[in-house]
Structure 1
């Protein structure tokens, strides 16, 4: 049975199971940490409370292993914000009782702000009564000593728009005339691919795994067809959903296919999707944000959420029926 690790009322619980009252409190806790950063401190796009953009005020907690955190690392790089928003990097191995940890290594850093050993200690410092799972990316406000936001989609849009006075204002991935198409494509990519790989890998039963594998590869088939006719998801320019998809696809053959049971086809079996992933990887600045060694360390760690008794789907290629070109 998978265990849950979380903060409940500011106390770290390394193992919560069904029936534990602390788990019930966690599941009923409201969503938190959704404040915004805007150039002038006015409310965010949906009226969220906002704080003003200032160089050196905000700090990112990320890991190169996590696709959601990778998106934040990517935007920070593409917007030229390295000197504006500082960053600490969690170690890719996080399967122990304390989950995400800091370490001075080839794949991670120390906690540059507080000197903590574990990310849950940072969360508890920012909110002593926190009831939450502990995730990356997370955006910290130095001025108030609190967690500002830990929703990756929010953080991307904050990085894209809030700091243009100090970063590269020309970089934009949400063209105003494509708002409706952007949201529709984001919904498809995020639900049918980016989170679908985890519904496969974290499936609680063989039947659930088998069902989710079919849905995932149906979505990849549809994207293969689309990208065989155009270079990017919304035609000729790179937009936000391209980066959502890229951060999943670049992990596919290294991690999701072998470690998360997404094993029916490899990315390299999809010519258009593979070429698209290479195209985005070659986009200036992107390659430096991809760390395949960290990714493999993370996904081949001993994750409590993965039931290793569930069998992966068989590869679509069948040795028994494939013709031999030398004897056919």
Structure 2
């Protein structure tokens, strides 16, 4: 028995500290696109659930092993051909990270964006980045050709909690002095920002589909969380005819142990992230609680009416013949 238990514990440890470990590659500064002379540091972030211990790291570029065995990989004075590509990292006995693309661009100015996917509720910062040699006169940002910011000193544009409606084509322009400060030119770059849905609009579902008075009724607030944001904590609230039946809770179900006629009504639910940056309301679903005795009486009346009609018809035709 002790040998079997040891095998089980060993397999659990392998699952926990082996293939289940999936690090994440992050950039400092946190941009997916850089100019060809920029420096950048890549970090292999390992989930905090793994015990702290000395680790050896492997780094990959475009699925090929590259030099480096530390948690950080420094790229200094990057070049387009050498450093542009997909980066991944791995610890000994752990899983390999998802690839993160570093775009090294040979240009005078770029609109920089974060390397990871952008979801509703996320903060978003864009940066209008130029070569160090130039003096900037003015920086402007546009969304779908509409100016949204103009500044003489600030090269960034920030959205605290982005929404899906803010997806679109973003552009920045800079008026700069060239080397001799006598010539002024305007440079520009643009990028399409697509904001992903972190969870779907909820839908009210009830079990059983036909609720009889006295039944246990379960109302569920059904939504789908994006797998890449599977660790996001959601909170659920339930309403009947606009009145709160249960405040925000991590459970997506609302139960009525013994439903009564007064539990009938129009039910809705609302889902929000724990940070309260994203919230969505379901459409209403009218739930009717049926009274079994009333149903029985109705059935009896229908049957009695049918029997009476049959008797009248039989008597009528019998007398006629």
Q: Place the TM-score, normalised by the shorter chain, in its bin.
A: under 0.3
Determine which structure has the larger strand proportion and give its number: 2
Q: Which one has a larger percent helix, Structure 1 or Structure 2?
A: 1
Question: Quick one: higher RCO (CA 8 Å, sep 6+), 1 or 2?
Answer: 1
Q: TM-score, normalised by structure 1?
A: 0.23
- Larger Rg belongs to: 2
